[in-house]
Structure 1
Amino acid sequence: ALISFVLPSGYFGPLSSRVRGLFVQHTRTGNPLVDSVAEHQPASQQAYYQYLNVICNIAPIGFLMVLFKITDQSAFLLLYAMVTYFFSAKMVRLIILTGPIAAILGGLFIGSMFDWSVAQLITGASTSPPPPADEVSKKAPGSSKKSKKNSASTTPDFVPSELSDLYGTFSSKYSSVEGQFFRKIGALIFGFALFTYGKGFGDYCDKMAVALSNPSIMFKAQLRSGQTIIIDDYREAYWWLRDNTPSDSRIMAWWDYGYQITGIANRTTIADGNTWNHEHIALLGRTLTAPEKEGHRAARHLADYILIWAGGGGDDLAKR
C-alpha cells in the first residue's frame, strides 16, 4: 500500500539501467552505455580468483560450517554471502562486495583448523584406547543394547539417525591411538600448507594493492629492455587542451574520458558517465568508429577537438 501511494507522487523515478542490469541479462538493460562497459559483464571464475585468490576456494567451506550451525549471527552471514554472490555474479565490478564476507568465511575455516591443529600437537587430545575384546565379552547380555543407546544419545543432532552407527565407528577410530597419530600428521600438513599458501597470499595481496592503487591516468610500464617508465599521455593531453584551446571548446572523446576532460582540462565534453541519451551515445560511437571522412562530416558539427588514444593498448573499441 505504501509503495502504491509513493510511486505516483513523482519523487521516485524508474530504476536506472545499472540497477536493471542486476536482474536481467547485461545486453538487455536498454541502455547501450551500460551494456558497453566491460565492468558490467557477468563475473567469471577467473575474475573471482583474480580478486579473492585462494579465499574463493576456502570461503565455501566456511559457508558450510556456518550453515550447519544456525544462529542469529550465522544467519546474517549466510544472507550476506548469498546476496553478495548473486549480485557479483551478475556484474563483475560488484565482486568488491564479496571481499568482506569471503574473508570472514575463510577466516572461520582457517581459525577452526588452526585451533584443531594446536590441540592435536600441543595438548594431544588423546583418549584411552578401546577395552580388550575379552573384557567386552564379560559384560552382561543387555549391556550391548545399553551401549548402543548411550552411543546414540551422544550422536550430534545434525547427524541423521541412519548414520549414527557409522558416526560411532568413525568416532571410535578417531579417538584411538592410531587416530591420534594420524591427527598429528594432519595437523602438521595443515600447518605447512598454511605457511606456504599464507605467504603466497600475502605477497599476492601486496601486488594487487599496488596495482589497484595506481592512478588511472598515469601508470607504470616496462620497455623491452626492462626499463620502467611512467606513461602519462592522458594527463599531458588534458593539460594541452587546458593550455592551448579556447575556454569554450567542445571536446569529443569516448564517454570514459568525459569526467577527466571536464575536471583536468576544464573543457566541455560531448559525453561522460552521466550521459543518459541513448541516441547521443550511439552517434558518438558511430562517429569515432566510422571511416575518417564519414566521421569528420559528423564530428565537425559536434565538437572542436577530438581526443583519440593511439599507439596500441587502448580498449575503447572492445567496449562498443
Structure 2
Amino acid sequence: MKIKNIFTKENFLNAVKSVGKIRPKTSHTSILTIIALTMILIIAFAIRLFPMRWEIDPTTGKSNLLLSEFDPYFQYRFTEYIVKNGFIAWAWPNPWNDTQRWYPQGFNVAKGAFPGLPMTAAFLYKIFSVLGVGIDLMSFCALFPAVMGMLACLAMYFLGKDIGGTPVGLFAALFLAIHPSYIQRTSLGFFDDETVGILSLIVFAFLFLRAIEEDRPLNSTVKYALASGAFLGYFCASWGAAFYPIGLTALFVFVLLVMKRYTRRLLLAYSITFGLGLFIAINVPYLTPNYLTSTAVVAVAGVFSLLVLAEILNAMPTRRWKAITVIVFLALVVTVFAVAWQMGFVRGLTGKFLSVVNPFTRAESPLFESVAEHRISAWGTIYYDLGIGIIFSVAGLFFACGNLDNKNLFLLVFGLTSLYFACSMVRLLVLMAPSYSLLVGVGVTGLLRPFYTLLREPPKLGVKRKFGLERVGKEFSGAAIFMIFLILMTSIAFPMPRVYRQVYAPTTISSGSLSLVPDRPVQEWIDMLYWTRTRLNATTVVCSWWDYGYWLTALGNVTTLADNATVNGTQIQNIGFIFMANETQAIKMLKRYNVEYILVYTTIKTDGSWAGAGGDEGKWIWMAAISGKDRERFISQGLISESDMWTSDLEKIRQTFGNLTLGTNWHDSNNNGYYDSGDSISSNLRGQNTVLFKLMRYAVERWLQEQGKLTSLSIRIEPYFEEAYIAGLTNAQGYYGYVPLVALYKVNYPSES
C-alpha cells in the first residue's frame, strides 16, 4: 500500500472523529458543578489575598510579604528551624530549647508546642525548593493559609455532598469560603494552627461518616477508618482544639447508641479511628501518654465500653442475662473510674479548656481575660459574624431533624456543640464555620427544592373549580426562588463590614497593631525591629509586654522575657510589676533578669493626647491586674511596701492609677456615667509615677519636640533609663491622625557600693 493512499483527506477526518469519541462523557450537570466549584475555590483563594495590597511597596512595586498577628511568627520560627536542621531535630536527639524566649530558662519547643503545622509547611517548602520554585520561607508561610482555606472549601464540598447531595456541597463550600471568622483565620499571613486544624476537622468528619456507612464493603470501612484516624492524629499534633473532634465523635456515637443504632461496623470504625488517632497523639512530645488520662479522652474509652457492651448484649439469649450484664458492667465502670480519679490517673479539664466548657471560671484569671479573643461572644458578635444566613442555618436544623439519618444526626450534634463553644469564646467562632456552612447549605437546598420541582413540572390543563384547592403556578415558584436568592445576596454581596473588612485590611505588623485600617503601610514597628536586628545582639535581653515577644524574637532577633505563649504566669506578673511600679522598685526586678533594654508602645493623636488605638496606654490596666494577683509575693520579697502594692480588682486599680487613663482622673460632673467634654480632669500622681507612664510620655514629648510643638521635656527618665531609639519621631502626619510610637530605652543600673 502506498503512503499517499494512507494519508488521505478521508482517513484524516476519520481519525479526528475517532479522537472525539474517546473523550469522557460528562453530563451538563457535572460540567456546571465543576465550573461552580472552580469559581468557589478561586473566590476562596483570591479573597484571602486582599491584605497583599499593603505588602507592596508603591515606589518599587515589589512585595515584602509578612505574617499577621503574633502567634504566626513563632510558627514561622519553628518552621525555619525544621528547614535548616531537619524534620526531627527539634525533638531528637537534643530537644530544642529556644533560649531567646522566656529568658533565662528558655522555651522547650518539643514540650511546649504542636509540631503539625511547622512540619507540614517545612515539608511542602522543601518540595517546592526541589522543584525549583524560588520563594523565600516568609512569603511561603504567608501564602500557606490562603491555600489551606481553599483546600478546606474543596473538602467541605465533598462532605456536604455526602450529607445532602451536590447542591448542599456547593452551598456549604461557598459559605465556608466567605465566612468572616474563617477568612480572618486563613487570610494572607495568618500562619497559625487553625489553617490546618479546620481542614483536618472537615476531612476527618468526611472520612468517619463514610467509615460507618452500612452499604460499604468491609475493607472499605477499614480504609476509611484508618484514614480518619490518621487525620485525627494529625489534628491532635497540630492544634490544642483537638479535644473538640474527639469529644464530638464520642458524643455522636453515644447518641447513636441511645437511639439503638448500634452496628458492628460502628464498633469497628470507632475502634480503628481512635486507636490510630490516639496512638499518633501520644507520640507527640508535647502531648505524651498523659494525653490519654484527660477527661475528654477518658470519655472516648467510656463510649468504647458501651459499644462493647452493646455487642455483648446482642449475643445474650435472654433479657435476664442482659440485665445482669448491664448491672455488672455499670458497677465495674463506676468503680474503675472512681479509683482512677482518686489515684490521680484521670485529669480534669484545666486552664484554657476548662474556661471554654465553663466560661465563668475566667474571672479568676486576669491574664486570660486580658486577651480579647478569649472573651465570651455576645449575640451581637455572632450575628455580625453570621449575618442573615442564620435564618438558613435554622432552616437547616429543621430539615436535618426531618430526615434524621446518621449523617444528619452528626450534623445536628456538630452544629449545636460548635454553637455552644463559639458562644463561649470569640476565638472559637472559627470552629463553628464548618457546621454553620453545612447547615446553611442544607437549609437553602431544602427551601429551594419544592419550588425547583414545581418549575420543572410540565404545564397541566385543568378546569377551574368553584370549591377546592388550586394548583400553585410556576410564577409563584419563580418568585419564591428569586426571594431566596435576594436574601442570599444580602448576606453575601452587601455586608461589607462582615466579609470585606475581614480581608481588606493589612497584616497586624503592617498596620502597626493599630485598631484601625491605615491608609498606607505602617513602618514604625518594622523600623524598630530592623533597628534591633541590626544594632543589638541575639543575646541582648529586652523587656516588653508579652504581646510583642514573638515579634522581637522572630523579626528583631533579641532575647525576650515573655511572649504570646504565656507559659509562665509568674514571669508575666513580674513584667506587669516592672511597668506599674516606680523606677526604684522596678529596677530591682529588672536586675533579676539582667534586662539591657525596655520597650514600650503607645499611640497618640496629632495633638499629643493618648489615642488608645492599640498601644500600652490601653493595656496598663491588665498589667496592674495580672501583677496584683500575686500581691503578697511582691511584698514578701521586699520589692514594694504593703501600702504601695495594688490588688487585682479592676475598680480599685482605676482608683489607684487613674480612672480615665493611666495618670489621669475624671470627675463625672453631669452624673451620666461616662466621660464627655463637660467633665473636669485632674492628674493622678501615682499613675504618672509609674515606669510605663514615664516611658510612654517621654516618647510623646520627644515627638512633640521633633514637630516643633514643644521646646523642653517635662519628663525625666534618668538615671535608670536613657533613650536608645524611638520609631515614629519623624512621622508628623500619622495615619488618619493617629501616630504610633515604638520606644526603646537602655537600662542603667545603679553602681553597687
Structure in which a larger fraction of residues adopt helix: 1
State the distance in 2 between where 1:239 and 1:131 align.
84
The aligned residue for residue 511 of structure 2 is 219
TM-score, structure 2 as length reference: 0.32
State the distance in 1 between where 2:518 and 2:525 align.
21
The aligned residue for residue 38 of structure 1 is 372
Change in CA separation of 1:6 and 1:192 when aligned onto 2, cut-off 3 Å: closer
The aligned residue for residue 79 of structure 1 is 413
1:256 aligns with one of 538, 547, 551: 547
Paired letter, 2:527: E
For residue 81 of structure 1, report the CA deviation from its aligned partner. 0.8
For residue 233 of structure 1, report the CA deviation from its aligned partner. 2.1
For residue 284 of structure 1, report the CA deviation from its aligned partner. 1.6
Deviations 1:100-121 (A, max 9, x none): 1111111111122233333344
State the distance in 1 between where 2:490 and 2:458 align.
24
The aligned residue for residue 597 of structure 2 is 305
The aligned residue for residue 702 of structure 2 is none
Asked if structure 1 preserves the Cα contact closer than 8 Å seen for 2:540 and 2:596, the reply is yes
Deviations 1:160-198 (A, max 9, x none): xxxxxxxxxxxx75xx24677655543443344344544
The number of residues matched between the two structures is: 274
Paired letter, 2:508: S
The aligned residue for residue 165 of structure 1 is none
- Report the 3-state secondary structure (helix = DSSP H, G, I; strand = E; otherwise coil) of the residue aligned with 1:306: strand
State the distance in 2 between where 1:128 and 1:42 align.
59
The aligned residue for residue 159 of structure 1 is none
Change in CA separation of 1:279 and 1:221 when aligned onto 2, cut-off 3 Å: closer
Asked if structure 2 preserves the Cα contact closer than 8 Å seen for 1:120 and 1:183, the reply is yes
For residue 256 of structure 1, report the CA deviation from its aligned partner. 1.5
The aligned residue for residue 314 of structure 2 is none
2:425 aligns with one of 79, 88, 91: 91
- Report the 3-state secondary structure (helix = DSSP H, G, I; strand = E; otherwise coil) of the residue aligned with 1:279: helix
For residue 90 of structure 1, report the CA deviation from its aligned partner. 1.1
The aligned residue for residue 288 of structure 1 is 579
Asked if structure 1 preserves the Cα contact closer than 8 Å seen for 2:601 and 2:615, the reply is no
State the distance in 2 between where 1:48 and 1:125 align.
45
For residue 293 of structure 1, report the CA deviation from its aligned partner. 6.2
- Report the 3-state secondary structure (helix = DSSP H, G, I; strand = E; otherwise coil) of the residue aligned with 2:542: strand
Map 1:231-250 to 2 at 5 A. Answer: 231-250=522-541
Please, which moves more after superposition, 257-266 or 68-77?
257-266
- Report the 3-state secondary structure (helix = DSSP H, G, I; strand = E; otherwise coil) of the residue aligned with 2:564: coil
State the distance in 2 between where 1:21 and 1:192 align.
40
State the distance in 2 between where 1:254 and 1:221 align.
14
Paired letter, 1:218: S
State the distance in 1 between where 2:500 and 2:527 align.
29
State the distance in 1 between where 2:459 and 2:590 align.
78
For residue 299 of structure 1, report the CA deviation from its aligned partner. 3.8
- Report the 3-state secondary structure (helix = DSSP H, G, I; strand = E; otherwise coil) of the residue aligned with 1:230: coil
Asked if structure 2 preserves the Cα contact closer than 8 Å seen for 1:117 and 1:191, the reply is no
Change in CA separation of 1:127 and 1:61 when aligned onto 2, cut-off 3 Å: farther
1:208 aligns with one of 499, 502, 506: 502
Asked if structure 1 preserves the Cα contact closer than 8 Å seen for 2:376 and 2:426, the reply is yes
Paired letter, 2:520: I
- Residue 395 of structure 2 is aligned to residue 61 of structure 1: yes
- Report the 3-state secondary structure (helix = DSSP H, G, I; strand = E; otherwise coil) of the residue aligned with 1:43: coil
State the distance in 1 between where 2:368 and 2:463 align.
66
The aligned residue for residue 111 of structure 1 is 445
The aligned residue for residue 614 of structure 2 is 314
For residue 309 of structure 1, report the CA deviation from its aligned partner. 1.1
Map 1:136-285 to 2 at 5 A. Answer: 173=469, 176-177=470-471, 182-200=476-494, 205-211=499-505, 214-219=506-511, 228-285=519-576
> Unmatched 5+ residue regions in structure 2?
1-332, 604-610, 623-753
Please, which moves more after superposition, 285-294 or 17-26?
285-294
Asked if structure 2 preserves the Cα contact closer than 8 Å seen for 1:32 and 1:278, the reply is no
Paired letter, 1:314: G
Asked if structure 2 preserves the Cα contact closer than 8 Å seen for 1:88 and 1:98, the reply is yes
- Report the 3-state secondary structure (helix = DSSP H, G, I; strand = E; otherwise coil) of the residue aligned with 2:357: coil
State the distance in 1 between where 2:529 and 2:352 align.
29
Please, which moves more after superposition, 113-122 or 67-76?
113-122
Asked if structure 1 preserves the Cα contact closer than 8 Å seen for 2:387 and 2:491, the reply is no
Asked if structure 2 preserves the Cα contact closer than 8 Å seen for 1:120 and 1:187, the reply is no
For residue 40 of structure 1, report the CA deviation from its aligned partner. 0.7
State the distance in 2 between where 1:305 and 1:19 align.
35
State the distance in 1 between where 2:522 and 2:437 align.
34
State the distance in 2 between where 1:299 and 1:249 align.
13
Change in CA separation of 1:299 and 1:56 when aligned onto 2, cut-off 3 Å: farther
For residue 128 of structure 1, report the CA deviation from its aligned partner. 5.9
Deviations 1:9-28 (A, max 9, x none): 88x87644111211233554
The aligned residue for residue 247 of structure 2 is none
Please, which moves more after superposition, 50-59 or 235-244?
50-59
State the distance in 1 between where 2:441 and 2:562 align.
44
- Report the 3-state secondary structure (helix = DSSP H, G, I; strand = E; otherwise coil) of the residue aligned with 1:219: coil
For residue 78 of structure 1, report the CA deviation from its aligned partner. 0.7
State the distance in 1 between where 2:462 and 2:492 align.
35
Aligned-residue Cα RMSD (Å) equals: 3.7
For residue 236 of structure 1, report the CA deviation from its aligned partner. 2.0
For residue 287 of structure 1, report the CA deviation from its aligned partner. 2.5
Deviations 1:12-70 (A, max 9, x none): 87644111211233554754422321111111123223333332342122112212221
State the distance in 1 between where 2:434 and 2:591 align.
49
For residue 122 of structure 1, report the CA deviation from its aligned partner. 4.5
